[in-house]
Amino acid sequence: MNIHIVTDSTSYLPIGFAEQHDLPVVPVKVSVDEVFFREFVEISPDVFYAKQKAGAKYGTTQPGPEDFIAVYTKLLANPNDEVLSIHLSSRVSGTLNSAYIAAEQTDPRRVHLYDSRTSGLGLGFMVMQAVKLAANGAGIDDIIKALDGMQPRTHIYFLLGTMKYLIKSGRIGKAAGVAASILQIKPILTVKDGMIDVFERPRTMRAALDRMWALIDQAVVRGIEHIGFHYVGNRVEVEAMQTEFTRRTGIPSVLSQLGPGVGCHMGPETVAVVIVEKAV
């Protein structure tokens, strides 16, 4: 019996990881002037962001159930195999619902769904852990237990150059409370209970970046299991941050571009840090 891990493209895994582990990644869809594309498959992040910046109308939508049915059917060809499908927060996307419909139409006894209640590398690190555990012979229940244990240890901090993209997207969640003072502060946002929320409210970009470094340094003291840095259109800036982190700590890290499925809501100057602390 094999356990196959499946995820969606908002996991933004390290380059080559999915191919190396034969991991199916179901792409979310983005639109440009009302034409839909599968992110990474039919449109690259850089092309999408250039069109967004040029004023194109844009949006996102979850994969359809048919996208998951095709994947699940192939993976379940062996009657003893099972699937664990791990996806971004159901509170910000209908992706998990599409997966649920597909599971019901395929084999609900052998397709198990997991709501990561996060996205980006917060989801990605869970997927990487699930792949490792499955390869080592862990069962579905043990993998899910491990992922449950990762959730409270996973922290996402992101800083936006502007809040306008997030407000326009409607995915602002509990961060809506900062909209009235958008011009006066540079909030550090996080994901809490599966939704975007405000972590702190520095008044300047410099103060916000200093605070993010303080959060990273505190996590280093507690112990880091995984850490990743996300960029959108500002790779040079974020890569310099990653290089400085390596210089300070020597801890391995991941650099990953946010694809348009998430990045179009954040804006081109986004700086994000994802930290999974070591279990106590």
| Cβ-proximal residues to 15 (8 Å cutoff; 6+ apart), any chain | none
71, 43 Cβ separation under 8 angstroms = no
Sign for the pseudo-dihedral over CA of 164, 168, 174, 176: positive
Residue spans per domain, the chain: 3-151, 153-277
**CATH fold match for the domains 3-151 and 153-277:** no
Sign for the pseudo-dihedral over CA of 129, 194, 268, 207: negative
Residue range 31-55: mean pLDDT, rounded:
95
State residue 256's pLDDT score: 97
Calpha distance 95→90 (Å, rounded):
7
Provide the pLDDT confidence category of residue 183 given band limits of 50, 70 and 90. Answer: low
Percent of the chain residues topping a pLDDT of 70 = 94
Strand partners, 256: 230
- Distance of alpha carbon 45 from its chain centroid, rounded? 15
CB count in 10 Å sphere of residue 156: 22
Residue 266 has pLDDT above 80, yes or no: yes
Report pLDDT digits (tens) over 166-177: 877 666 655 555
The CATH class given to the 3-151 domain equals alpha beta
Provide the pLDDT confidence category of residue 180 given band limits of 50, 70 and 90. Answer: very low
- Quote the pTM value: 0.94
Pick the CATH number of 153-277 from 3.30.1180.10, 3.40.470.10, 3.40.1010.10, 3.20.20.60: 3.30.1180.10
